[in-house]
A and B are shown apart, each in its own frame.
Chain A
Amino acid sequence: MARITLPQAKFVRILFFLLIGVTTLSLARTFADSGDLSSTGTFGAAIGLAVPIGLAGLGGIWSERSGVANIGLEGMMILGTFGAGWAGWQWGPWVAIAAAVTYGALGALIFAIVTVSFGVDQIIAGTAINILGLGLTQFLAKLAFENAPGGGQTQSPPVSALPSFTITEISEPLSALQKEGIFFISDAAGLLSGLFYQVSIITLIAIALFILTAFILWKTSFGLRVRSAGENPWAAESLGVSVYKYKYIAVTISGALAGLAGAYLAIVGTNVYREGQTAGRGYIGLATMIFGNWRPGGTAAGATIFGYINALQLRDESNIGGLTLLGAIILIGIAVLMVARGMRGTGAALGLLGAALMSAFLFTTKMPTEVALVAPYVTTLLVLATASQSLRPPAADGVIYRRGESH
């Protein structure tokens, strides 16, 4: 049997995936008769929901590329939400962002001291940071917001909004085209118009940060040093790279990004700091990072997919049926590819799962919303379980490195 190979050039490959993706989406929309699956509103919301997840994932990339596994992202994000709420209602949204980034970075700095300098297990330290971040914000929130106008023990006064952009000249005609319901074309139009519909300034910053990260980590000598600390710190040290320094920098950046993710939740997602606002998004960010193979492009794609699933569920429960069908088509598609490539066992397992989803779609009148709730996590586990061959975390990720000790 002829081997199915993917196009090699990166740009062509992305285009190829987009083409397949939109076609699949279109199929699902048509058969599930659920127009919202590719509406402007859904894509707009998806991008909005993807931003905090993606930023947390990007933070994960920085930290783990330098060899520090960071499950403390959640705690740093919580610190960010508080920073944004606290500074935001007093001095406006821009100071809020600065405060959130600083708070997240400070949390990360403590994490770095404990993991890098003292060489404590990174997972343990991350767990402690999550406990500490939660406790600290709850404590400070009570003191800071209880007597503030419009605030409460668990909620800050409102923060004024940041600018957001809608390019109506592009968004509106595309949105109209989307409503026509033409196969493929309408779905592509919905996707595109969503990109120009109520885009927050932080979203633009986030996109810039993704590009910047890809550039810094893979195209500069600084980035090479950071990654060498995560791949082989002993070799890096022997070549004169100060591994500790690069780990410190990378982990602090990681926390700053998690803090920014928190700022997004507090300023754009809602307009207040609220207890429990992060709702485990730090962990989902970690999942997108794994999904994206510890790379910015894949992580952005993962965050968008997770944001999309979340958006569907939040907009209308009837979307879940379409989502289930979409999942079924994707799973069966991947299963066919895998069997064609000789991975019979895994392919068959995925095919069965796809068939199960398909029959769930066909034979139940209403799919439960919980399907969308668990979809990101099940997806991550499936990716890990089936594609672990092609996933490659940094070689020294999570390894305790002590200066001067040989490997």
Chain B
Amino acid sequence: MTKIRKLLDVLTAPMLAITFSLIVTALILAAFGANIFEVFSKMYDYGTSTRSLTLITNTATTYYLSAVAVAIGFKMNIFNIGVNGQYRLAAMTAGAVAGWISMPGPLAAVVAILVAMFIGALWAGVAAWLKVARGISEVISTIMLNFIAIGIISYVIVQTNIGTEVKVNVRGTPKIQEGARLAGYALIDPKVKIYGFFFIAIAVGIIYWVVLNRTRFGYDLRASGLSPSAATASGVNSKRMTIYAMLASGAIAGLVGLPDLLGKEFSYTLNFPANYGFTGIAIALLGRNNPIGIAFGALLWAFLDVSSQILDLEGVPREIVTIMQGVIVLSVVVAYELVRRNRVKTQQQNVGKALAGAHANVSTSSEGSK
């Protein structure tokens, strides 16, 4: 019973938010004279084809990694807005290294992954150092570091000979050799493959859960996030935890670009997708930093993104989905806040009732002695 109650408790806010955003979206669509049901059913039909489902899985893989990276920070009240810069720099470096080294294929893939994690952690580490040593909010420093990363990438790709012309008028890192690619397997649709990184993302999710819930480090991390003062009092070095959390977040962020890099693009170009970091923030919020919640969030986001591709053909701008996502994020945080307040209120009322009852008992039993 309590388990179901708890699950309901957890699901209330996201369900409210999604419903609310559906209503808002429907109203906007209606205002512009679109047939709401047709739009939604077209999206559903298109989004559930085997091809779309494969694309959704692949997109969700990327979103999942990004959201986990953000969630690691959130668990310790660190806001890693820098995932964008971290993964782009990491993917560029990994692409350059994987395109350059001559090693047996799988080994090269492993090297690429390690390099990406290292660079992601390094870039996040700058923000961690600035926070711990100089007291600079990571929100500001990671925003700045995002732009600096863009500058560095542009320099490396355009000005140095690490960048080559991959396609006509498109510069990027050299193509990664066949063997080092994780192009994946055609599981659902015969023509499109599910990224090999899909399985790595699942592993990341499991590791995230285990580390968070079954290790000392995870305990310290959560404790520091919930109450820094209490954590410090119990012997947790908060500065060190900040650095570790930021490094871990950055290392996972480093992986965000790899599903696309090793599964589809095989070269980091200046046209590489640029905004997975903010998507990760949204999904981490929706999924409440929970590995399973995030998975649902990532799938929902990916479903919306993929299924909306059909809308432009129907004369409805597909950005309606971005509006929907924006509304979901805004309303889910509001909903969580409302649910929290409501819980606090009922708790206080329950305590009040219990106390009143106890008080009444005490006063009746002690009446005789007085």
Contacts and interface: CB of A to CB of B under 8 A. Distances in A.
Interface of A: 69, 71, 110, 114, 118-121, 123-125, 127-136, 138-139, 142-143, 280, 283, 286-287, 290, 368, 370, 373-374, 376-378, 380-381, 384-385, 388
A125 B330 contact: yes
Kindly state the interface size class of chain B when it binds its partner: 35 or more
A31 to B, nearest CB: 24
B23 to A, nearest CB: 15
Contacts of A385: 130, 134, 136
Minimum-distance CB pairs A-B, first 4: A135-B322, A132-B326, A374-B151, A142-B317
Interface string B52-91: 0000000000000000000000000001010000000000
B317 A373 contact: no
Interface string B326-368: 1101100110011000000000000000000000000000000
Contacts, number: 129
A139 B323 CA distance: 8
Contacts of A130: 278
B143 interface: yes
12 contacts: A69-B139, A71-B81, A110-B330, A124-B329, A125-B333, A129-B330, A131-B326, A136-B322, A139-B320, A143-B317, A373-B150, A384-B130
Dominant secondary structure at the A interface: helix
A139 B322 contact: yes
Interface of B: 28, 32, 79, 81, 130, 134-136, 139-141, 143-145, 147-148, 150-152, 154-155, 159, 278, 281-282, 285, 317, 319-327, 329-330, 333-334, 337-338
A388 B130 CA distance: 11
Contacts of B145: 377, 381
Contacts of A142: 317, 319
Contact of A131 (B32, B152, B322, B333): B322
B39 to A, nearest CB: 13
A132 B141 contact: no
Given A114-B333, A373-B151, A388-B134, A136 B326 contact: yes
A110 to B, nearest CB: 7
B144 A381 contact: yes
A143 B32 contact: yes
B322 A120 contact: no
Contacts of A110: 330
Contacts of B323: 132, 135-136, 139
